[in-house]
Amino acid sequence: MTEQDAVIEHESGTEAAMRKFGSFVGGAAVDPEPDAEVITLENPATRRPYGVVHAASPQLVDRAVRSARTAQAEWWAMGPAERTRRMTAWADLVDRSADILADLDVESVGRVRREAVGDVVKSTDQIRFWAQEGPRLVRRSERSAVPEHLFLTCPGPVGVAALLLPGNVPSRMLLVHSAVALGCGNAVVVKPADASPSSALKLAELALAAGLPAGLINVVVGGAATGAALAAHEQVGGLSFTGSTATGRRVAAIVAERFGKVALELGGKSPQIVFSDADIDAVCEAIVWSFCANAGQICTAGTRALVHREVYDDVVARLAALAGRVRVGDPGDDATQVGPLSSGRQFDKVVGLVARAKREARLVFGGQPVADLPGYYFQPTIFADVPAAAEIFQEEVFGPVLCVTPFDDEEQAIALANDSRYALASNVWTADLRRALRVADRIEAGTVWCGTSRIGDPHMPLTAGRKSGNSHARGLVDVFTQDKLVAVSLRDTDTGPHWGLAAERTN
């Protein structure tokens, strides 16, 4: 199937069992192509290699897209009730496989296992939602105000939806984005992050076992070249990309060359505005969770705490005390709250940003790798008195690092919150409802959470601006569907606008 046991020689000269990961196209695993790029996979909790990826070539990507087009025609012909039934069966099967999927994500990117299981279960609710909501959306029609005419808008699928996924929450991102695409009648070609192919391949197998047509979910594995080939494919109707702003810019340019539709969920540097009347104990708990969960590798993580000067010193002290209680360790241990960073590359980025930040701000907690753990572990880290011009204030770290900056009044808080090239998410903490709404109205971000953090609903749009991209979640509907206008005259003898040329010839 998608994983085969093999024994290869490590660079060190020692031998170890390694697994091979190839693509999954048309309902079957694909043998490695000659001269395929080979990517070594490493468990970030141990730094030990455990497998290799045989990257898909542009030719294999083309084969996957064509397979998806064929399967999509079968999927659309089933009708909405049958599509709903089969998607629901997939959700049920994924639910029963949550432990297996979580273990794969623990191994590949260091997800805390308990949270990974919870992510899978939450995501199957999204599948069930879009199994019902997607058919409703594509049955929508609108009447025109033009007399004696009927104008209908007929939404439909774009055909093939491509998903370029990140490695921070592999199973959840595939499930949520696929749910929208499949619910709206599309087929899917998934390109998981190069470091996390295993759960994507398992989910494609489960879809086949649940009765989804072979080829409805294809997985092409590999690195940047594989993703670029998928983004450039002329028969991809809509594409979603989740990842860094720099890569998102390149993806958008590739898709624009062919006038394609694209959803971009990119970076963030979300502010958390704390007013003096907030429940400081509860707020500090929420902030520590927000910047530490998944080792800070969440695009909406609240990594800039903007705190009213009246409570600033108290908040900084409480945040440092709470950060010291965060349990960092083995992601397979249910007691662990923060696991490793997902890769050596990300670890090096965090180490570098933190080292430079020590010259620009006051370190009050952490700031170092975890010395007694073998993987890519980094301490929860808090910087105080961070100026808005500092790199650590402006750049997304994608690690468990928090900046704390004081403000004197509401105007300054809003100005600091908006002093960013990102505009993804934000938080407002205050007991004053009017102030919460007033500030929320002026923050430039796609989402503002007031008195809570990182909750959503599949009914609601989650959008972004500036260098954070454009849309994701329900916003994917616009990328994965296209409208058709059908205009019909209700007059028996009406042929539409004309010059009456036939009548002139008879005179």
> Among residues 107, 115, 184, 191, which one is catalytic?
191
**What's the CA gap between 202 and 175, in Å, rounded?**
12
**What's the CA gap between 167 and 110, in Å, rounded?**
10
- Among this protein's residues, is 122 annotated catalytic? no
> Among residues 299, 395, 403, 467, which one is catalytic?
299
> Among residues 133, 205, 265, 395, which one is catalytic?
265
- Among this protein's residues, is 74 annotated catalytic? no
**What's the CA gap between 93 and 101, in Å, rounded?**
11
What are the two backbone dihedrals, phi and then psi, of residue 331, each rounded to the nearest 5 degrees?
Answer: -65, -15
Q: Across-strand partners of 109?
A: none
**What's the CA gap between 182 and 178, in Å, rounded?**
6
Q: DSSP secondary-structure letter at 242?
A: E
Of 101, 99, 106, 120, the residue nearest 50 (C-alpha): 106
**What's the CA gap between 159 and 237, in Å, rounded?**
6
**What's the CA gap between 431 and 365, in Å, rounded?**
28
- Among this protein's residues, is 450 annotated catalytic? no
Of 194, 212, 50, 229, the residue nearest 203 (C-alpha): 212
Give yes or no for a contact between 204 and 228, defined as CB atoms under 8 angstroms apart: no
Q: Which helix (H) or strand (E) holds 402?
A: strand 401-407
| Token pair listed for 17 | 């069992």
Please identify which residue in the block is written with the tokens 């890519």: 376
Of 265, 249, 274, the residue nearest 432 (C-alpha): 274
Of 122, 115, 4, the residue nearest 455 (C-alpha): 122
> Among residues 205, 396, 403, 467, which one is catalytic?
396
Q: DSSP secondary-structure letter at 55?
A: P
- Among this protein's residues, is 396 annotated catalytic? yes
Active-site positions? 191, 265, 299, 396
